[in-house]
Amino acid sequence: MSQLCYLFIIIMRRGILYIFLFGILFLLIACHKQENERMHARLTRWDVLLDECPEAIIDSLKLINAKELDVRNRAYCGLLKTIAADKTFGDFTSDSLIANTVRYYDHHETGSESHIRSLIYQGIVRMRMEVTDSTVYIPLIRAKELFDKSKDPNPSIGYLLYYYLGNLHYQNGNHDLAQKYYDKALDYAKKENSQRHIFDAYSELFWNEMAQDRYETGKLYLDTLLHFKNRVPDIDFTILNMQSVYYDIQGEHEKSLQCEKDMIGLLPLQKEKVENFRTYYSMSDRYKSVNKLDSAMYYGLQAIASIFDSGYRLNYLLYKNVADISAAQENYKLADSHRQKMFEAYEHSVDEQTNTKILELEKRYDLAKADTKALKAQNNVTLLAVLMFFLLLSITGLILFFRKRQTMAALQNEKLQIETEIAETNALLLQKQTYQQKNMLNIYGAFLRQYADQQHRLKMFEMKIRGDKNPKMADEYREILKQGEEQFNTLSNELFPSQIFEDILDVHQGLEILTETDRIFLIMLAMKIDAMQIASLLHTTPANLKSKKSYLKKKIMENKSSFDQFDNLISLFK
């Protein structure tokens, strides 16, 4: 009893220990889960503040060790870092961070707002990296597909998506498609009521019209944009740039030049990094338009000195500008020098055929979507046809199966009827054969009995004659008996051929072992003829007959395997 109590105490202690350990593990898991939820809530708050203070958010994100986050928060953190870097005009040298983010959302939150945003920013990052091929287009168009399927689309995401799709096509000279996407971006900007997004959408529509030489429509957009003037320095800088271009095209070079001068004063106030060579080039071009060649040369050289990317495809225009100004100043040596640099820059520029690649890709993509739908429809029809075929095949198979079963049943019944008829016929034949055998046995038996009895009387008569001491007559009579024996042997061969033996005894194998006398003896046993009569027929004595019977039985038993009906033969000796 004490041992049982001790065992119970040990079990209870271990149970309490296991419960304690399980509780600690559960608390750790719960705490880790709560920590992940708290981090996700913090990232969500930072996401809301990204538009207002991206610099502060990016500083906060830098303090987070992504390796300590779960996969969900790590992906969200990667998305926020990418957005914050874009809004603070950071330089992108790799798209691996946003690519990993997209990979997570592809597998875990397909179609979510975070997934759509990650695809959009994957395209944006690659555009910022000066990529112009399909690797920019594919994530944006994937985002568009998912966004178009959204039940309650977010206007901010819609604006961002269509704004950059418009930019991509504008940069590649596909102005009609750019117009379509910019219009949709403007619609979403109005829905979200973001004045900055509305301004940016109108700005891109202005540049798209000017690129197509549709200056009147461009002027309408410019007039609309003037309502945003005097709000923030970067908006004023953008409006001055548009005015400068428009005035220059209209031949109002002094107004254009004044806009350029005002832009230079706003350069230090710009949040986004402004490429100074563009502003200096514009200034040089405007001075050249008013025939102030010294100023034009000064700003032209300033533009060349401000080149930051030697592979930029439009660098040759800067060298051409200085060469043209040098020629106008009749400084042909300097003009030739810059024309040589212009040709070298042109040879290293990006192939202009890329302008058509995105347009062709969009057409191919739309065609691929149509082909995919057609292929799906065709596959559905094919699948339906295959299913109908297999259904029809199954029904046909079932019909054939049941018909075959009915046919087999009918054939089975017919076979049973035939077998019944054959059995009945065989029974009648057997009955008839048995009847015939019985009659034959009766006839042969009567004959043999009568003949045996006659032979017995004749032998007795011979013995009587010899007893009367008339040997001559007895010999003559003996000769007559001998002739009778020979005639009986001949007659027995005719009366008891092999076929009769087979029919009477039903024995068909092993007959070659038996002599003619053996067969006649067996037939007589089958006919149950008296031993005395058998002895008379076989011209022997009853004592010899008994010995002959024992010998024949032994002979048959020794050759048991040779007879097909051994039991029938051995039963005759009982």
Q: Where are the domains of the chain?
A: 406-573
pLDDT tier at 146, thresholds 50, 70, 90? very high
Sign of the C-alpha dihedral computed for residues 222, 224, 229 and 233 taken in this order:
negative
pLDDT of 54 over the 90 cut: no
Higher pLDDT, 542 or 308: 542
Residue 496 Cα distances to 121, 443, 484, 517, angstroms: 118, 12, 17, 10
User: In this model, does residue 463 exceed pLDDT 80?
Assistant: no
Task: State the pLDDT at residue 342.
Answer: 79
State both tokens at 247: 């005035």
Evaluate if residue 312 carries a pLDDT over 50: yes
Query: How far is the C-alpha of 22 from the C-alpha of 413, rounded, in Å?
Result: 74
37-44 CB contacts, 8 Å cutoff, 24+ apart: 39/69, 39/73, 40/72, 40/73, 40/76, 43/73, 43/76, 43/77, 43/80
What pLDDT was estimated at residue 325? 85
Distance CA 353, CA 443 (A): 125
Report d(CA 343, CA 327) in Å as an integer.
16
Neighbour count for residue 158 (Cβ, 10 Å): 22
Taking residues 278-295, report their average pLDDT: 75
pLDDT at 518: 79
pLDDT number for residue 452: 61
Q: What is the pLDDT of residue 368?
A: 47
Return the structure tokens found at 482. Answer: 């001998």
Task: Identify which of 216-230, 272-286, 322-336, 442-456 has the greatest average pLDDT.
Answer: 216-230
Q: Is the dihedral of CA 7, 12, 15, 16 positive or negative?
A: negative
pLDDT (0 to 100) of residue 352: 44
Residue 24 has pLDDT above 60, yes or no: no
Going by C-beta distance under 8 Å and a sequence separation of 6 or more, which residues neighbour residue 169? 175, 177, 178, 181, 358, 359, 362
CA 378 – CA 384 distance, rounded (Å): 10
* For range 345-369, the mean pLDDT: 55
Q: 150: pLDDT confidence band, cut at 50, 70 and 90?
A: confident
Max CA pair span of the chain: 193
Q: Looking at residue 371, what is its pLDDT?
A: 45
Angle between helices 542-558 and 516-526 (to 10 degrees): 100
Q: What span, in angstroms and rounded, lies between the C-alpha atoms of 246 and 238?
A: 12
Q: Is the pLDDT of residue 494 over 60?
A: no
Greater confidence (273 vs 205) lies with 205
What integer pLDDT is reported at residue 244 of this predicted model?
Answer: 85
Q: Is the pLDDT higher at 160 or at 483?
A: 160
pLDDT higher than 80, residue 481: no
Task: Give the pLDDT of residue 449.
Answer: 60
pLDDT above 70 coverage of the chain, percent: 71
Confidence band of 353 (pLDDT split at 50, 70, 90): very low
Tell me what the mean pLDDT of segment 223-232 comes to: 87
**What integer is the mean pLDDT of 271-283?**
71
Q: Which of 21-30, 288-297, 466-475 has the highest mean pLDDT?
A: 288-297
d(CA 203, CA 174): 17
525: alpha, beta or left? (left if phi > 0; alpha if psi -120 to 50): alpha
Which residues does 116 contact at the CB level (< 8 Å), separation at least 6? 143, 146, 147, 150, 157, 161
Average the pLDDT over 16-32 and give the result.
54
Looking at the predicted structure, is the pLDDT value of residue 26 above 60? no
- The whole-number average pLDDT for the span 167-184 is 90
Q: Are 455 and 534 in contact (CB under 8 A)?
A: no
